[in-house]
Amino acid sequence: MTDPEENAPVSRLLAASEIGIVAPRDFVCTRPFTFKSGQVLPGFTLRYETYGELNATRDNAILICHALSGDHHCAGVHAADDRKPGWWNNLIGPGKAVDTNRFFVVCANVLGGCVGSSGPSSVNPETGRPYGIHFPFVTILDMVRAQKLLLDHLGVSTLHGIIGGSMGGMQALLFAIEFPAFTRRVLAMATTSRESAQAIAFNEVGRQAIMQDPDWNQGDYAKGGGPRVGLAIARMMAHITYVSDASMDRKFGRRKKNPASGESYTFDIQFEVESYLRHQGQAFINRFDANSYLYITRALDQFDLAQAYGSLETAFAPVQAESLVVGFTSDWLFPPEQNRQIALALLRAGKRASYAELATDLGHDSFLLESEELYALIRGFLERNQATAVDFSI
Amino acid sequence: MTDPEENAPVSRLLAASEIGIVAPRDFVCTRPFTFKSGQVLPGFTLRYETYGELNATRDNAILICHALSGDHHCAGVHAADDRKPGWWNNLIGPGKAVDTNRFFVVCANVLGGCVGSSGPSSVNPETGRPYGIHFPFVTILDMVRAQKLLLDHLGVSTLHGIIGGSMGGMQALLFAIEFPAFTRRVLAMATTSRESAQAIAFNEVGRQAIMQDPDWNQGDYAKGGGPRVGLAIARMMAHITYVSDASMDRKFGRRKKNPASGESYTFDIQFEVESYLRHQGQAFINRFDANSYLYITRALDQFDLAQAYGSLETAFAPVQAESLVVGFTSDWLFPPEQNRQIALALLRAGKRASYAELATDLGHDSFLLESEELYALIRGFLERNQATAVDFSI
Contact between B1 and B168 (Cβ < 8 Å): no
Q: Which residue of A has its CA nearest to B264?
A: A37
- 125-154 of B, contacting A, C-beta below 8 A: 133, 137
> Does B197 contact chain A (CB < 8 Å)?
yes
| ipTM rounded to 2 decimals | 0.93
Provide the 10 A C-beta neighbour count for residue A242: 23
**Please, what is the Cα angle at A213 between A46 and B212, to 5 degrees?**
115
Mutate to test the interface with B, among A34, A208, A264, A330 (most CBs of B within 10 A): A208
- 201-230 of A, contacting B, C-beta below 8 A: 201-202, 204-205, 207-209, 211-214, 229
**3-state class of A303 per DSSP?**
coil
Q: Do B251 and A207 touch (CB under 8 A)?
A: no
Model pTM score: 0.94
- Among residues B302, B320, B350, which one ends one of the domains? B302
Give the residue among A358, A382, A381, A383 at the shortest CA–CA distance from A371. A358
Q: Which residue of A has its CA nearest to B212?
A: A229
Residue A272 C-alpha, separation from nearest chain B C-alpha, in angstroms: 9
**3-state class of A371 per DSSP?**
coil
Same domain, B285 and B308: no
Provide the 10 A C-beta neighbour count for residue A62: 26
Nearest to A201 among B195, B240, B270 (CB): B240
Nearest to A198 among B240, B298, B335 (CB): B240
Measured CA to CA in angstroms, residue A269 lies from A137, A366, B268 at distances of 39, 28, 34
Same domain, B277 and B361: no
Nearest-angstrom CA–CA distance, B50 and B59 = 14
Nearest-angstrom CA–CA distance, B55 and B52 = 9
Tell me, what DSSP letter sits at residue A165? E
Whether residue A158 lies inside any domain: the answer is no
Nearest-angstrom CA–CA distance, B340 and A6 = 39
| Residue A110 burial by Cβ neighbours in a 10 Å radius (0-12, 13-18, 19+) | buried
Q: Is B331 one of the annotated active-site residues of the chain?
A: yes
Nearest-angstrom CA–CA distance, B203 and B294 = 9
Mutate to test the interface with A, among B255, B274, B296, B302 (most CBs of A within 10 A): B274
Nearest to B198 among A207, A236, A245 (CB): A245
> Does A273 contact chain B (CB < 8 Å)?
yes
Whether residue B174 lies inside any domain: the answer is yes
Taking 50 as the pLDDT cut, the residues of chain A under it are 387-394
Which residues have a Cβ under 8 Å from the Cβ of A220 and sit 6 or more positions away? A129, A130, A132, A133
Same domain, B219 and B343: no
- pLDDT, one tens digit per residue, over A9-58 is 666 777 878 999 999 999 999 999 999 999 999 999 999 999 999 999 99
CATH (domain of B277): 1.10.1740.110
Whether residue B37 lies inside any domain: the answer is yes
Residue B385 C-alpha, separation from nearest chain A C-alpha, in angstroms: 40
Same domain, B82 and B217: no
Whether residue A134 lies inside any domain: the answer is no
Give the residue among B313, B384, B189 at the shortest CA–CA distance from B392. B384
Whether residue A232 lies inside any domain: the answer is yes
Neighbour-count burial for A341-367, b at 16+ CB within 10 Å, e otherwise:
bbbbbbbebebbbbbbbbebebbbbbb
Handedness of CA B256, B257, B259, B264 (dihedral sign): negative
- pLDDT, one tens digit per residue, over A321-331 is 999 999 999 99
Whether residue B143 lies inside any domain: the answer is yes
Q: Do B270 and A194 touch (CB under 8 A)?
A: no
For residue B50, the surrounding DSSP H or E stretch is strand B44-51
Q: Do B201 and A251 touch (CB under 8 A)?
A: no
Same domain, B267 and B350: no
CATH (domain of B189): 3.40.50.1820
> Does A306 contact chain B (CB < 8 Å)?
no
Same domain, B227 and B90: no
Whether residue A186 lies inside any domain: the answer is no
Nearest-angstrom CA–CA distance, B163 and B4 = 18
Give the residue among B111, B112, B70, B301 at the shortest CA–CA distance from B203. B301
Nearest to B197 among A253, A263, A332 (CB): A253
Same domain, B337 and B370: yes
First to last CA, chain A: 28
Same domain, B183 and B276: no
Same domain, B289 and B343: no
- Among residues B239, B272, B302, which one ends one of the domains? B302
**Please, what is the Cα angle at B256 between B250 and B262, to 5 degrees?**
145
> Does B375 contact chain A (CB < 8 Å)?
no
Q: Which residue of A has its CA nearest to B198?
A: A245
Same domain, B250 and B356: no
- pLDDT, one tens digit per residue, over B143-191 is 999 999 999 999 999 999 999 999 999 999 999 999 999 999 999 999 9
Structural domains in chain B (count): 2
Looking at residue A161, its amino acid is: G
Residue B35 C-alpha, separation from nearest chain A C-alpha, in angstroms: 11
For residue A310, the surrounding DSSP H or E stretch is none
> Does B200 contact chain A (CB < 8 Å)?
yes
Q: Is B117 one of the annotated active-site residues of the chain?
A: no
- The residue segments making up the domain with residue B142 are 10-200+304-388
Same domain, B88 and B214: no
Whether residue A289 lies inside any domain: the answer is yes
- Among residues B249, B267, B302, which one ends one of the domains? B302
Q: Which residue of A has its CA nearest to B248?
A: A197
Phi-psi category of A47—alpha, beta or left, where left has phi over 0 and alpha has psi -120 to 50? beta
Q: Which residues of A are catalytic?
A: 166, 331, 364
> Does B252 contact chain A (CB < 8 Å)?
yes
- 34-73 of B, contacting A, C-beta below 8 A: 36-37, 39
Residue A293 C-alpha, separation from nearest chain B C-alpha, in angstroms: 11
Residue B239 C-alpha, separation from nearest chain A C-alpha, in angstroms: 10
H-helix segments, B49-161: 140-153
Q: Within 13 Å, how many C-alpha atoms sit on residue B207's CB side?
A: 25
Provide the 10 A C-beta neighbour count for residue A376: 11
Residue A208 C-alpha, separation from nearest chain B C-alpha, in angstroms: 7
| DSSP symbols for B292-315 | HHHHHHHHHHH-BHHHHHSSHHHH
Taking 70 as the pLDDT cut, the residues of chain B under it are 4-11, 261-263, 386-394
> Does B184 contact chain A (CB < 8 Å)?
no
